[in-house]
Amino acid sequence: MKRSTIIIFVSVLIVAGIYGLIQVVPDGNARDSGVVQTDIAALRDLKSVVPATGEVLPLLSSIVKSEISGRITRILVEEGDSVQRGEVLVELDRISLQTRVREAERSFEADRLRLERSKRNYERLKELHTKKFVGEKEFLDAKTDFKLSELNLEIAQARLEDAEEDLSKTVITAPHEGILTLINVTDGQVISGATSVSNGTDLLTIAQLSELYMEAKINEVDVERLFVGQSAYLRFDAIPDFEVEGRIDVIAPSARRDGNVRVFPIEVVFEVSDNRVRPGISATVEVPIASVEGVVSVLISGVFTEEQSSHVYLKTATGWGKQKVEVGINDLQHVEIKNGLNAKDVIALSRPPEFRNNDE
Return the pLDDT at 308: 83
Return the pLDDT at 210: 85
Closest CA to 178 of 273, 271, 269, 82: 82
Return the pLDDT at 266: 95
Rounded Cα distance between 285 and 150, Å, is 67
311 secondary structure, DSSP code: E
Rounded Cα distance between 92 and 185, Å, is 12
Which class is domain 51-58+209-285?
A: mainly beta
Tens-digit pLDDT string for the chain (360 aa): 434 444 433 343 343 344 343 333 344 443 444 588 999 999 999 988 899 999 999 989 999 999 999 999 999 999 999 999 999 999 999 999 999 999 999 999 999 999 999 999 999 999 998 888 888 999 999 999 999 999 999 999 999 999 999 999 999 999 999 999 999 999 999 999 998 778 999 999 999 888 899 999 999 989 998 999 999 999 998 898 899 999 999 999 999 998 888 999 999 999 988 888 888 899 999 999 888 999 999 999 999 998 889 999 999 988 999 999 999 998 889 999 999 999 999 999 999 988 876 554
Amino acid letter for position 27: D
Task: Identify any residues that bridge with 178 across adjacent strands, giving them in sequence order.
Answer: 83
**Cα dist. 146→112, 126, 257, 346 in Å?**
11, 12, 69, 106
Return the pLDDT at 34: 58
Helix (H) or strand (E) holding 350: none
Q: Judge residue 195's burial from the number of C-beta atoms within 10 Å of its C-beta, 0-12 exposed, 13-18 middle, 19 or more buried.
A: exposed
Say what percent of the chain tops pLDDT 90.
70
**Please, what is the angle between helix 95-130 and helix 136-168, to 10°?**
160
pLDDT tens-digit series, residues 125-145? 999 988 888 889 999 999 999
Task: Fold for 37-49+292-359, please state it.
Answer: 2.40.420
Amino acid letter for position 281: I
DSSP string, 147-207: HHHHHHHHHHHHHHHHHHHHHHTTEEE-SSSEEEEEE---TT-EEPPP-SS----EEEEEE
Runs of H (alpha helix) within the chain: 2-24, 28-32, 95-130, 136-168, 353-359
Q: Is domain 94-168 annotated with CATH 1.10.287?
A: yes
Determine contact, residues 234/259, Cβ cutoff 8 Å. no
**What's the maximum distance between 2 C-alpha atoms anywhere in the chain?**
161
Helix (H) or strand (E) holding 287: strand 282-299
Whether the full predicted model's pTM is greater than 0.75, yes or no, is no
pLDDT tens-digit series, residues 13-24? 343 344 343 333
Rounded Cα distance between 98 and 167, Å, is 7
Domain map (residue ranges) of the chain: 37-49+292-359, 51-58+209-285, 94-168
Rounded Cα distance between 314 and 142, Å, is 113
Return the pLDDT at 32: 46
Cβ neighbours of residue 307 closer than 8 Å, sequence gap 6 or more: none
Rounded Cα distance between 234 and 117, Å, is 75
Determine contact, residues 265/215, Cβ cutoff 8 Å. yes
